[in-house]
């Protein structure tokens, strides 16, 4: 089938692949779905799903789909990227009459500030960003990560938004600030922290925390929980100053020619059993179950930053990396 | 000669369609303005280039130059004696040559990953040193300048050895012997005979190691742990996280211009690199 | 340097070049995830070979490399022949420049091209775009290798053929091409391995159904050290090694 697709593509006929079963192309992050979610959907609806988990960061979703000819149908952008993607006309409006299972969503996630009335996206899984460290370590706050004691044993995420979020929280500011003064102060703090840092690492840090090479790592809760499952001496800290919250949403691309099937897939994801299984497998929280209010209370949702702020942040980030 | 025309046509087509036109598009993008949420749009502007004249980006360029330069020098210094060895190795030469090339044939990513495997705290080096009681705590080998340099040298070394070898192979060893017979000191022979003869090879080797090292971003990512930023990372960031295509395009072209200057310097004697 | 010292030095460099890959291979047979040797096991090979995404990526990589090799080798050989006796300034210059263009710049420019093209033609990113991208960067390698081979050849053979009444096409087919064979094989091999190995360009121009092995390996490496990656790497190294040995044999039989 692949080979035939390839020949068709070469002769310039891509897009009209003759396939016995309809198919759906879904791109998501790694470790972000239960093992049987996709096979069950394929069986029940008699379709093929191309499920790809190659992207690591949310920005990659935009980068991959910005051309408008990526070939994907269903994507999982982070909440702060829903608006930019919609502004760039990348997303298709959702037809709620076909998404009957959305009544499973808890009230809080039915009208989020990033996408009122869920016109373009539906919350898929949400989580927060905190610190993964051994239970024995006396780490309770972001502030603890500026500590001589852990020199060379700390990592931060290689994501500008998360590093700024941590620094801004230490300073008591909002993670979404547009104020250049606050951003610069946060940057100064980040540069100051570099001498204690081993590296800026994303999920690849998990092994290193498990093996004890790294004593404390800024990490997303889902990834952290997956590590803790295999290394129970570790635990996840919700930093006392507050932390960032993010929600990965599921959306349908405007370029998709399979809007019906894509809606079926979305609707399927919100069946109670499926949603619960995905949440269990990824260790992130489902927007369908009772929300953990205490986690939400001290967290702050990421928002889309304006063009100039985005540019300032990028510049400050480049300066941090250069320092 | 029409046959020649026909033979050149497909390559000309590929070069125009897949190299010159894309470069022209990048040039156009570099003169545009970033859209509010990414992408590129009007108006035309030179701002993306002006932004580059900033100590911050200058420093990044300089750092990239520095590490590419270090890689090149290390490759030449390490590669030259081996190329000499190869050119003097007689019957087994083919085998030895294959042994140099073998790692080059294998995957670049795999070779870089191999060093992650060796250098991390629970990697082989630290495990051995710990079990020999030479150290009490793992030494941080990964995620620093040295690790990036090591990765770059490791990946470029075969590329440096081959061109040097191919010029040394043509060196008439009788010249070296004659020089020695005439009383030249080894160093003098080296400086006056070996170096001039192998100069084209050395230049090609320098160029072949310098260019890929200058634009690298994977090695600095995997072995450097993201704690520093090189020009390759800067370009890559603009096309992914920062979504600032016009600035990314300008940075690409500036990098390109620097490489072209290098190319002109290397081929200044009107010899083609092809 | 005395011969023995030089020999020692060469041994050290060979160790530097080969030990990392050997160690990787040895530990792919270790039953433990860690760097302590536990016991011999094929578990990581089972994991790797049982991973459908990985197998599909391998298949994709091979298909892409095969197409890119055939296309770039034929186009490049013809071009090298065209450039042999007489230069074409702009083509030589463009090819030289494309040879030295940093990968990331090539990648970005091709992505920009495909985006614009597809907005007009409504085509999608996929295997065909990856093949096109690979042809574009393999072409110059082929031209370089074949041209080098041509330069070692004597023009008088073709002239003799012409004197005996052969058309230029016949002279090319029956005289030059057979003599070029080792050069073409070497060029094809270089194109094949370069295509198989590319990550930077591929990852940007790939779409649905065109994930390649390096993309999967990079993804895995970014998620931490994973012995399954050691296993795949070992297979790649040995697979390519065997391929090279075979091609060398073929060349020597000539």
pLDDT tens series, chain B, 274 aa: 578 888 888 989 999 989 999 999 999 999 988 877 767 777 888 888 988 888 889 889 999 999 999 999 999 999 999 998 988 887 788 788 888 888 777 778 888 888 888 888 878 888 888 888 888 888 888 888 999 999 999 989 988 898 888 888 877 777 778 887 888 787 887 787 788 888 888 888 888 888 889 888 888 888 888 888 899 989 888 888 778 888 999 999 998 888 888 778 777 655 555 6
Say yes or no to pLDDT of A15 above 50: no
Q: How far is CA C214 from the centre of its chain?
A: 12
Helix (H/G/I), strand (E/B), else coil: A129: strand
Is B229 within the bounds of a domain? yes
Q: Is A158 on the interface with B (CB under 8 A)?
A: yes
Asked if B85 and B79 touch (Cβ cutoff 8 Å), the reply is: no
**Cα distance between residue A223 and residue A204, in whole Å:** 10
Q: What are the residue boundaries of the structural domains of chain C, listed by start? A: 54-212
- In this structure, of A93-97, A123-127, A209-213, B76-80, the range with the lowest mean pLDDT score is A209-213
Say yes or no to pLDDT of A67 above 80: no
Is B143 within the bounds of a domain? yes
**Cα distance between residue A78 and residue A124, in whole Å:** 9
Asked if A104 and A81 touch (Cβ cutoff 8 Å), the reply is: no
8-state DSSP, B38: B
Of A113, A220, A207, nearest in space to A166 by CA: A220
| pLDDT tens, position by position, A274-299 | 999 999 888 888 888 777 788 888 88
Residue B108 structural domain = 60-266
The hierarchical CATH code for the domain C54-212 is 1.10.3720.10
Residues 6+ apart with CB under 8 A from C47: C227, C228, C231
Say yes or no to pLDDT of A51 above 90: no
Asked if C201 and C103 touch (Cβ cutoff 8 Å), the reply is: yes
**Cα distance between residue A270 and residue A103, in whole Å:** 9
Say yes or no to pLDDT of C237 above 90: no
Q: Residue C128: which of A14, A25, A30 has the nearest Cβ?
A: A14
CATH of A2-124+248-286, one of 3.30.70.360, 3.30.1960.10, 3.40.190.10, 3.60.20.10: 3.40.190.10
Q: Residues 132..151 of B with a Cβ closer than 8 Å to A: which?
A: 138, 140, 142-143
Residues 6+ apart with CB under 8 A from A221: A127, A128, A129, A130, A236, A283, A284
Asked if the bond preceding B43 is cis, omega within 30° of 0, the reply is yes
Which CATH number do you get for residue B78?
Answer: 1.10.3720.10
Residue A1 has a pLDDT of: 43
Residue A146 has a pLDDT of: 92
**Cα distance between residue A102 and residue A117, in whole Å:** 11
Say yes or no to pLDDT of A18 above 50: no
**Cα distance between residue B89 and residue C14, in whole Å:** 14
pLDDT level of residue C30 (50, 70, 90 thresholds) = confident
Interface test with B, best of C8, C13, C167, C249 (most B CBs within 10 A): C13
Residue A253 has a pLDDT of: 92
Q: Is B106 on the interface with C (CB under 8 A)?
A: yes
Of A263, A252, A265, nearest in space to A92 by CA: A252
The hierarchical CATH code for the domain A127-245+299-322 is 3.40.190.10
Residue B123 has a pLDDT of: 80
E strand or H helix at A125? strand A121-134
| pLDDT tens, position by position, C81-130 | 888 877 778 888 888 888 888 888 899 899 888 888 877 777 778 888 89
Give the global pTM: 0.86
Q: Residue A84: which of B37, B140, B229 has the nearest Cβ?
A: B37
Asked if A16 and A262 touch (Cβ cutoff 8 Å), the reply is: no
Interface test with A, best of B243, B247, B248 (most A CBs within 10 A): B243
Check CB contact under 8 Å for A10 and C128: yes
Task: Give all strands (DSSP E) within B72-157, no chain letters.
Answer: none
10 Å CB burial of residue C215 (0-12, 13-18, 19+) is: buried
pLDDT level of residue C196 (50, 70, 90 thresholds) = confident
Q: Residue C211: which of A5, A14, A54 has the nearest Cβ?
A: A54
Is B148 within the bounds of a domain? yes
What Cα–Cα distance (Å) separates residue C192 from each residue in A2, C72, C135, C177, C196?
Answer: 20, 10, 10, 20, 6
What Cα–Cα distance (Å) separates residue A144 from each residue in A66, A141, A176, A245?
Answer: 39, 6, 22, 20
Q: Residues 37..56 of B with a Cβ closer than 8 Å to C: which?
A: none
Q: Quote the Cα angle for B36-B41-B43, to 5°.
A: 105
Q: What are the residue boundaries of the structural domains of chain A, listed by start? A: 2-124+248-286, 127-245+299-322
Check CB contact under 8 Å for A204 and C124: no
Is B30 within the bounds of a domain? no
Residue A41 has a pLDDT of: 92
Q: Residues 168..207 of C with a Cβ closer than 8 Å to B: which?
A: 168-169, 172, 193, 196-197, 199-200, 204
Is B93 within the bounds of a domain? yes
For chain A, helix, strand, coil in percent to 5 are 45, 20, 35
All chains having 3 or more CB pairs closer than 8 angstroms to chain A: B, C
Check CB contact under 8 Å for C113 and B25: yes
* Residue C121: how many other CB atoms lie within 10 Å: 12
Residues 6+ apart with CB under 8 A from B263: B207, B273, C96, C97, C100
| pLDDT tens, position by position, A214-257 | 899 999 998 899 889 888 999 999 999 999 999 999 999 998 88
Say yes or no to pLDDT of C205 above 80: yes
Check CB contact under 8 Å for A69 and C119: yes
Structure ipTM: 0.83
pLDDT level of residue C3 (50, 70, 90 thresholds) = low
10 Å CB burial of residue B183 (0-12, 13-18, 19+) is: exposed
pLDDT level of residue A155 (50, 70, 90 thresholds) = very high
**Cα distance between residue A78 and residue B267, in whole Å:** 49
Residue A20 has a pLDDT of: 66
**Cα distance between residue A132 and residue A224, in whole Å:** 6
Check CB contact under 8 Å for B263 and C96: yes
Check CB contact under 8 Å for C124 and A30: no
* Residue A117: how many other CB atoms lie within 10 Å: 10
Residues 6+ apart with CB under 8 A from A29: A53, A55, A56, A76, A248
Q: Is A192 on the interface with B (CB under 8 A)?
A: no
Check CB contact under 8 Å for A206 and C223: yes
**Cα distance between residue C151 and residue A27, in whole Å:** 50
Q: Which residue has better confidence, C154 or B152? A: B152
Check CB contact under 8 Å for B244 and A311: yes
Say yes or no to pLDDT of C202 above 80: yes
* Residue B16: how many other CB atoms lie within 10 Å: 15
- What average pLDDT does the structure give for chain C? 84
Check CB contact under 8 Å for C127 and A6: yes
Domain count, chain B: 1
Q: Residues 183..242 of A with a Cβ closer than 8 Å to C: which?
A: 202-208, 211
pLDDT level of residue A164 (50, 70, 90 thresholds) = very high
Q: Residues 197..226 of B with a Cβ closer than 8 Å to A: which?
A: 224-226
pLDDT level of residue C252 (50, 70, 90 thresholds) = low
Nearest CA to CA, how far is B160 from chain C (Å)? Answer: 13
Q: Which residue has better confidence, C38 or A109? A: A109
Quote the tokens at residue C221: 């490496």
Residue A177 backbone dihedrals phi, psi, to 5 degrees: -60, 145
Residue A88 backbone dihedrals phi, psi, to 5 degrees: -85, 10
């Amino acid at each position: 089938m692949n080979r035939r697709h390839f020949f068709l593509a070469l002769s310039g006929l891509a897009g009209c692949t003759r396939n016995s079963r309809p198919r759906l192309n879904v791109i998501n992050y790694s470790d972000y779905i239960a093992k049987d979610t996709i096979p069950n959907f394929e069986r029940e609806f008699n379709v093929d799903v191309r499920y790809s988990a190659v992207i690591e960061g949310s920005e990659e979703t935009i980068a991959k789909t910005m051309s408008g000819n990526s070939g994907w149908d269903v994507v999982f952008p982070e909440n702060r990227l829903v608006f930019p993607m919609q502004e760039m006309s990348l997303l298709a409006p959702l037809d709620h009459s076909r998404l009957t299972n959305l009544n499973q969503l808890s009230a809080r996630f039915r009208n989020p500030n990033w996408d009122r009335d869920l016109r373009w996206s539906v919350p898929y899984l949400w989580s927060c960003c905190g610190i993964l460290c051994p239970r024995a370590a006396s780490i309770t706050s972001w502030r603890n990560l500026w500590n001589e004691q852990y020199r060379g044993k700390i990592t931060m995420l290689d994501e500008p938004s998360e590093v700024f979020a941590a620094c801004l929280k230490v300073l008591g500011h909002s993670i979404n600030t547009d104020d250049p003064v606050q951003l610069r102060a946060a940057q100064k703090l980040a540069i100051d922290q570099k001498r204690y840092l081993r590296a800026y690492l994303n999920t690849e840090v998990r092994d290193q925390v498990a093996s004890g090479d790294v004593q404390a790592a800024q990490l997303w809760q889902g990834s952290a929980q997956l590590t803790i499952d295999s290394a129970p001496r570790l635990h996840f800290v919700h930093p006392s100053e507050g932390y960032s919250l993010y929600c990965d949403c599921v959306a349908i691309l405007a370029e998709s020619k399979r809007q019906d099937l894509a809606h079926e897939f979305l609707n399927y994801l919100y069946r109670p059993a499926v949603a619960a299984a995905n949440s269990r497998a990824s260790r992130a929280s489902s927007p369908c179950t009772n929300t953990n209010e205490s986690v939400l209370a001290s967290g702050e949702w990421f928002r889309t930053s304006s063009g100039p702020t985005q540019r300032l942040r990028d510049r400050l980030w480049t300066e941090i990396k250069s320092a | 000669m029409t046959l020649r025309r026909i033979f050149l046509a497909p390559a000309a087509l590929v070069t125009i369609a897949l190299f010159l036109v894309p470069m022209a598009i990048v040039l156009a993008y570099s003169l545009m303005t970033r859209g509010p949420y990414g992408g590129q749009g009007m108006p035309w502007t030179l701002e993306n280039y002006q932004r580059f004249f900033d100590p911050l980006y200058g420093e990044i360029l300089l750092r990239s130059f520095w590490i590419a330069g270090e890689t090149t020098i290390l490759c030449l210094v390490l590669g030259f004696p081996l190329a000499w060895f190869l050119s003097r190795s007689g019957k087994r030469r083919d085998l030895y040559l294959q042994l140099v090339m073998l790692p080059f044939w294998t995957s670049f990513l795999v070779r870089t990953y191999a060093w992650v495997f060796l250098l991390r705290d629970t990697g082989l080096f630290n495990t051995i040193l710990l079990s020999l009681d030479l150290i009490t705590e793992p030494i941080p080998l990964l995620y620093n300048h040295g690790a990036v340099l090591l990765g770059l040298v490791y990946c470029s070394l075969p590329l440096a050895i081959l061109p040097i070898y191919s010029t040394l192979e043509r060196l008439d060893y009788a010249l070296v012997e004659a020089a020695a017979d005439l009383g030249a000191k080894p160093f003098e022979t080296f400086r006056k005979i070996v170096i001039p003869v192998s100069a084209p090879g050395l230049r090609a080797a320098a160029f072949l190691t310098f260019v890929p090292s200058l634009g690298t971003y994977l090695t600095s990512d995997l072995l450097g742990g993201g704690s520093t930023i090189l020009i390759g990372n800067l370009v890559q960031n603009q096309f992914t996280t920062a979504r600032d295509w016009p600035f990314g395009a300008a940075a690409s072209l500036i990098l390109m211009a620097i490489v072209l200057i290098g190319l002109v310097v290397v081929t200044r004697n009107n010899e083609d690199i092809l | 340097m005395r011969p023995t010292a030089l020999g020692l030095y060469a041994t050290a460099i060979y160790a530097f070049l080969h030990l990392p890959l050997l160690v990787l291979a040895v530990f792919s047979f270790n039953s433990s995830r860690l760097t302590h040797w536990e016991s011999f096991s094929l578990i990581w090979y089972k994991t790797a070979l049982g991973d459908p995404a990985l197998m599909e990526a391998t298949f994709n990589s091979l298909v892409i490399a095969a197409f890119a090799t055939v296309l770039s080798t034929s186009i490049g050989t013809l071009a090298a022949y065209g450039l042999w006796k007489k230069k074409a300034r702009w083509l030589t210059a463009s090819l030289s420049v494309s040879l030295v263009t940093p990968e990331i710049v090539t990648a970005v420019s091709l992505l920009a091209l495909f985006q614009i093209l597809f907005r007009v033609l409504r085509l999608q990113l996929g295997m065909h775009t990856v093949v096109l991208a690979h042809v574009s960067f393999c072409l110059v390698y082929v031209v370089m290798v074949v041209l080098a081979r041509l330069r070692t050849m004597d023009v008088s053979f073709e002239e003799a053929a012409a004197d005996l009444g052969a058309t230029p096409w016949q002279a090319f087919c029956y005289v030059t091409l057979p003599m070029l064979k080792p050069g073409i094989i070497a060029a094809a091999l270089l194109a094949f391995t370069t295509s198989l190995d590319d990550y930077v360009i591929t990852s940007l121009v790939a779409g649905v159904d065109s994930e390649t092995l390096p993309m999967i390996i990079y993804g895995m490496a970014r998620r931490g050290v994973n012995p399954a990656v050691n296993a795949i790497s070992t297979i790649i190294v040995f697979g390519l090694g065997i391929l090279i040995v075979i091609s060398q044999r073929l060349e020597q039989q000539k």
